[in-house]
Structure formats: C-alpha cells, structure tokens
C-alpha cells in the first residue's frame, strides 16, 4: 500500500488545522495510507517508509521554523535514500506578505536537494497551500486538494516502481 507522511510543526494550532486538511485529502485516495505526525514525533524511519512526504511549518522570518529545519538536518543520516519520493509543502503566517511563499520554497528546496519529486499545481497557490492566521475554508480546500494530488502521484510512482522491479529482477 502506498504511504504518505504528513508532518508539521504548529505553535498556535493553525498549521495543525492545515495538516489535518492535507491528511483528509490523502486519506480520501483509495489504496493510500496517511501517517499524520508532528515534527517532534517524526523519525527517519517515517521518512523512509513513506512514498510521499508533505511538510508543514509556520512562517518564521520567511523561512521554515527551526524545528522543521532540525528535522531536515536529521535526514542527513539517510541522505540519498529519499530520492524519487514525492514531496510538497504548506505553511501558515501571521499576515499577508509575511513570507509564506518563501517558507514553502525553503521546504521544497530541502526536498529537491534530497532528490525528491515535487508536486505543484497550475491552479495556485503554486508553491503549496498557505493560511494567513487561522485557515479559512479556501485554504483548507487547497490543503485537501494538495493531499489528493500528492497521494495520487505517490501511488502512481509506487506502482511504476513495482512494475519495473518485476520486469527487471
């Protein structure tokens, strides 16, 4: 079964609400299991077990929070083993223009360096969903939709890897 990890750090509950919406989108895809964890609960084994990984962070100075960055730093121990996994990001911020796009890009940049495949959208927000303060219905809908897109792509890639493994033993 395809597995998607949704991991997040939240100090006010806003990022947690977005994470729950992302997870609802993942869970809605038949044949995909969602693992929802806070950043402190997330281990390298969780990263390795997942076919897709979606990371959420509040916006701190236009970047991911230090706790989320620490989680990425710990993945250095499994460097090279995340290649080909699907990745995506979401964030929350205290106001409009506070750096939500650069925060998502900081997460996506770390994923690209790890060799992950990033799932975006032409519909926007292009770098991943965001909420300004408490998420409204539009932000929650965009979060759910991203969960569906990541789960669907992770499932397709997992099936493709399984097929190629059976053809080339």
pLDDT digits (tens, 9 = 90+) for 51-67: 999 999 999 999 999 99
Question: Is pLDDT at 16 greater than 60 in this prediction?
Answer: yes
pLDDT value of residue 169: 58
- Which is more confident, 150 or 100? 150
34-53 pLDDT, tens digit per residue, is: 999 999 999 999 999 999 99
CB-CB contact of 125 with 90 (8 Å):
no
User: Taking every pair of C-alpha atoms in the chain, what is the biggest distance, in angstroms?
Assistant: 53
Q: Are 36 and 20 in contact (CB under 8 A)?
A: yes
Q: Which CATH architecture has domain 2-167?
A: 3-Layer(aba) Sandwich (3.40)
Q: pLDDT per residue over 20-35, tens digit each?
A: 999 999 999 999 999 9
Q: Look at the alpha carbons of 93, 99, 103, 108 in this order and tell me if their dihedral is positive or negative.
A: positive
The mean pLDDT of 73-84, rounded to a whole number, is 96
Mean pLDDT of 82-98: 92
122-169 pLDDT, tens per residue? 988 999 999 999 999 999 999 999 999 999 999 999 877 665 555 665
Which residues touch 136 (CB under 8 Å, ≥6 apart)? none
pLDDT at 161: 64
Question: What are the extents of the domains in the chain?
Answer: 2-167
pLDDT score, position 167 = 61
pLDDT at 105 over 80: yes
């Amino acid at each position: 079964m395809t597995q998607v990890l949704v991991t997040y750090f939240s100090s006010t509950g806003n990022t947690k609400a977005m994470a729950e919406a992302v997870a609802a989108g993942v869970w809605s895809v038949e044949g995909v299991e969602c693992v929802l964890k806070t950043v402190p609960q997330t281990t390298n084994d969780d990263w390795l077990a997942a076919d897709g990984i979606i990371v959420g962070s509040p916006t701190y100075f236009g970047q991911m929070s230090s706790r989320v960055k620490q989680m990425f730093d710990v993945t250095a121990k499994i460097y090279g083993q995340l290649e080909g996994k699907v990745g995506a990001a979401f964030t929350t911020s205290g106001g409009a223009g506070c750096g939500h796009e650069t925060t998502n890009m900081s997460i996506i940049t770390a994923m690209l360096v790890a060799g992950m495949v990033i799932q975006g959208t032409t519909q926007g927000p292009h770098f991943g969903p965001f909420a300004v303060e408490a998420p409204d219905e539009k932000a929650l809908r965009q979060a759910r939709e991203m969960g569906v897109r990541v789960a669907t792509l992770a499932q397709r890639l997992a099936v493709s890897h399984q097929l190629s493994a059976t053809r080339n033993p």
